[in-house]
Structure 1
Amino acid sequence: MTTVEGPSAAPRPWLGPFLATLAAMLALQMSHLGFSPLLPSLQRDLDMTFSQLGLFAGMYGLLAMVLSVPAGLTAKRFGEKRALAGGLVIVAVGLVLLSRSASFGEALVWRGLWITGYRFAFVCVLVAVSLTCPPSLKGRTMGVVGATSSLASVIGAPFGGTLEREFGWRLAVLGYAAAALIGAALIATFYRTRGAIDTVPQGPHAIDAGPSASGRSAFRTPIVWVLALMLGLGGVGQFSVTFFVPSVARSVFGLDAVGAGLIISTGYLCAIGANLVIGALMDRYVKWKILAGLFVVLAIASAALSIENLTVFRVATAVVLAGGFTAANQLYGIAGDIIRGRETGPVMGVVSLGAGVFGYFGPQTLGALRDLTGRFAAGFYAVAVADVLTLVLIVTVYRRAWNRQHDAAAVR
């Protein structure tokens, strides 16, 4: 494996905005990643079918398809600080209203408002990290962002599960709303924008975006759309499995919300270490090779979820969540190096569009397969197929980039 050496890190002033962004990410992801232990109680209380549960979970992807690009353009137009703080406030409002829902229809509407705020805030977190962190540390900083997000789930899932067991799912949702408001206050108080950035030098770790990528619109750069597809296909497991683990834990293994929350928390606890280790490797070695190896492991783990053994299920869930979440963060980091500056917002919007498309159809597909077959195994095999397709894309992009560099060296 080829080792890549980079320049020394940029001066320390970038740390302030970066730490403020981490605080916002922690507050934002507590509800988004920690909410799933509440789903069985919400499903039972509002009399949802599994297909309706898939629609409720997939609402994230449906709105992400619509809002990802506008969120990136909003960050470009108004600045990531205002868009991020405003998004967190909308998250809190949506959660408060969701806690008062009396039917599936009402819950779906307020879930939509919650996810609207989440999508704007999430894209702006990625923009903030890309604009503040030095390119030579992109793998490691995205690893820290991913580790922080994973920590939010480790905290959020047991937090919500405990409140649900003691007071019911409605009060647990209000607890998540309070966390979002705290995050908005932190970003408004401590994040300092660095002003408009039109051009920022790229480090040697930047991914080859093809000829004439510099200065191009994000919408006319092919590698941006390829990364969107990678992120979507590779994230099917992360998007879908999280929402169905509580149902599998209850119906197959007889666990309650707290038990299901501990399974999910274990996955995201493992993701803390995985994000940090993979992030360091991404800065040091060839990025595509690291990602290819990661998706080989993910495909095996996704298929193993179909085995009705609690120990195997726990381990496979941990690998799918940790590996999938880590891969997604590093793909976002790669995207941030393609076109830096004012086009960073649109780039992140386009790439996150892929996550939106598959974030919608992934849970829908797993829910439909569960209703059709009466078992969860078919859905888990579908996740494994998506991992294999992502691996094929990674290998194809790596080979094309290697051939382009080899041809350029031969000309010289």
Structure 2
Amino acid sequence: MTDHSPAALPWRQLAASIYLPTTLSFIGFGAIVPLVPLTARALGASVAEAALVVALMGIGTLIGALPAGVIANRFGEKRSLVGAMLLDAVCLLVCAAASSEWVLAGAVFVIGLSGAMLSLARQSYLTVAVPLEYRARALSTLGGVFRVGNLVGPLLGAAVVSLWGLQPAYLVAAGTSLIAVAVTLALPDLPEHEPSAGEQPVRMLTVLREHSRTYATAGLGASALMLVRASRDALLPLWCEQISLDAATTSLIFALSSGIDMTLFYVGGSVMDRFGRRWVSVPSMVIMGLCFALLPLAHSTLAVAMFAAALGLGNGISAGVVMTIGSDFSPRLGRPQFLAGWRLTTGIGRAAGPLLITAVAAVAPLGLAAVAIGAIGFAGAGWLWRWLPSTLGPG
């Protein structure tokens, strides 16, 4: 039975020490993401090599998921957060000083590893520190912070690059990580679990095996949700290009979608806390599935903008829902290891979206790829309705 005993720490008092450093670190991360391929090209990489360097960050995040659970269980969430942000700052300094694309590639890969640790430790910390009745709002706010970083970070990066060039942008990002470390040190320590007599240390493979059914049921549905959400970033710009919209119009349409997305995270969290996880995860999948299924009918700027806005609605209300569901199912013993497996399961879904679009578009019209993503959205909605409990937590 999953433990949901109320935590001793009042979550509103954690706002500055958990959300502020998260915002800072993700602004820094958002600032350098668009610059990585440009830096690789400036160091002599080909277009294909630059794309590989960018992909290494996502690969590092996936590979780092399970080790992150082991580290968080061994050292605790707070120390893991501090260590990961320090490692992040060091890697950003290496990026700034990189003399070849392969040095840059190695640093970017390790940034992906540290990102896995940061995401898992923050989720695990809030799962323990926040009472169940506020959990969805707390984790949805965390999801909203990610979106703020993705919006503000590139703007900051663009300003720094325009004034001083590429390398200083990495130094600014390293600085935000170091400030985040200082703020994170103010986090209260979580109560430590006291092992009972005869209790054995929890091992990663044991936790994964014991909860394999959860990964195959609720985890599969959450993975489908991540796949559909990730598909927006790949499919929407491609469809704009397909109907001959220029780059500026495409950027404005995407900004509209992202702006709506960023404003709705707390609404989704409030609905989940009051009515249950089904009432956000299922509608968001239906909304996004419908948008993708009908996207091939959009042949004007206004029509695409309307679908983009609706995708922002579906994506925005579902901010934090995957983390919330994972936290609901997480056990008291072995929580970091369980969440590591959960993040790996859903991370595979996120990576699969753009790959599926690429595979379908290689042999069929792009509109068919959109319809395929829409079908996954509808199927995922039904799957989540079947496997998520109707009450708060897994019941």
User: What is the TM-score normalised by the length of structure 2?
Assistant: 0.78
The alpha-carbon distance between structure 1 residues 308 and 80, as it changes in their structure 2 partners (threshold 3 A), is farther
**Which of 315, 337, 351 matches 2:328?**
337
Distance in 1 of aligned mates of 2:130 and 2:12: 8
1:141 is matched by which residue type in structure 2?
A
The alpha-carbon distance between structure 1 residues 378 and 90, as it changes in their structure 2 partners (threshold 3 A), is farther
Partner in structure 1 of residue 273 of structure 2: 283
The alpha-carbon distance between structure 1 residues 92 and 291, as it changes in their structure 2 partners (threshold 3 A), is same
**Which of 23, 26, 32 matches 2:23?**
26
Asked if residue 93 in structure 1 is aligned to residue 84 in structure 2, the reply is no
Distance in 2 of aligned mates of 1:176 and 1:105: 20
Partner in structure 2 of residue 196 of structure 1: 192
Asked if residue 255 in structure 1 is aligned to residue 251 in structure 2, the reply is no
Superposition RMSD in Å: 3.8
2:46 is matched by which residue type in structure 1?
D
The alpha-carbon distance between structure 1 residues 319 and 393, as it changes in their structure 2 partners (threshold 3 A), is same
- SS state at 1:16 partner: helix
Q: Does the Cα contact within 8 Å between 1:93 and 1:114 map onto a contact in 2?
A: no
Partner in structure 1 of residue 47 of structure 2: 48
Following TM superposition, by how much is the alpha carbon of 1:187 offset from its aligned partner in structure 2, in angstroms? 0.6
Distance in 2 of aligned mates of 1:357 and 1:269: 26
Following TM superposition, by how much is the alpha carbon of 1:122 offset from its aligned partner in structure 2, in angstroms? 0.8
Distance in 1 of aligned mates of 2:375 and 2:17: 38
Distance in 2 of aligned mates of 1:313 and 1:44: 33
Give the fraction of aligned pairs with identical amino acids, expressed as a percent.
16
1:47 is matched by which residue type in structure 2?
S
Following TM superposition, by how much is the alpha carbon of 1:60 offset from its aligned partner in structure 2, in angstroms? 4.3
- SS state at 1:196 partner: coil
1:122 is matched by which residue type in structure 2?
S
Partner in structure 2 of residue 178 of structure 1: 175
Asked if residue 388 in structure 1 is aligned to residue 388 in structure 2, the reply is no
String of CA shifts for 1:31-82, please: whole Å, max 9, x gaps.
4455555477458654324x963x5554344333322122122111101011
Partner in structure 1 of residue 201 of structure 2: none
Asked if residue 154 in structure 1 is aligned to residue 151 in structure 2, the reply is yes
Q: Does the Cα contact within 8 Å between 1:130 and 1:344 map onto a contact in 2?
A: no
2:126 is matched by which residue type in structure 1?
V
Runs of at least 5 residues in structure 2 that lack an aligned partner in the other structure: 196-205
Q: Does the Cα contact within 8 Å between 2:265 and 2:319 map onto a contact in 1?
A: no
- Farther off after superposition, 134-143 or 59-68: 59-68
What does residue range 58-73 of structure 1 map to in structure 2 within 5 Å? Answer: 58-73=55-70
Following TM superposition, by how much is the alpha carbon of 1:185 offset from its aligned partner in structure 2, in angstroms? 2.0
Distance in 2 of aligned mates of 1:373 and 1:96: 43
Partner in structure 2 of residue 118 of structure 1: 115
Partner in structure 1 of residue 259 of structure 2: 269
1:194 is matched by which residue type in structure 2?
L
What does residue range 368-383 of structure 1 map to in structure 2 within 5 Å? Answer: 372=362, 380-383=370-373
Runs of at least 5 residues in structure 1 that lack an aligned partner in the other structure: 1-6, 200-215, 403-407
Distance in 2 of aligned mates of 1:384 and 1:39: 31
String of CA shifts for 1:311-364, please: whole Å, max 9, x gaps.
444554454456336535112112212234342212211110123223334344
Alignment length, in residue pairs?
Answer: 372
The alpha-carbon distance between structure 1 residues 99 and 356, as it changes in their structure 2 partners (threshold 3 A), is farther
Higher relative contact order (CA 8 A, sep 6+): 1
Following TM superposition, by how much is the alpha carbon of 1:226 offset from its aligned partner in structure 2, in angstroms? 2.9
Following TM superposition, by how much is the alpha carbon of 1:240 offset from its aligned partner in structure 2, in angstroms? 5.1
The alpha-carbon distance between structure 1 residues 264 and 118, as it changes in their structure 2 partners (threshold 3 A), is farther
The alpha-carbon distance between structure 1 residues 150 and 68, as it changes in their structure 2 partners (threshold 3 A), is same
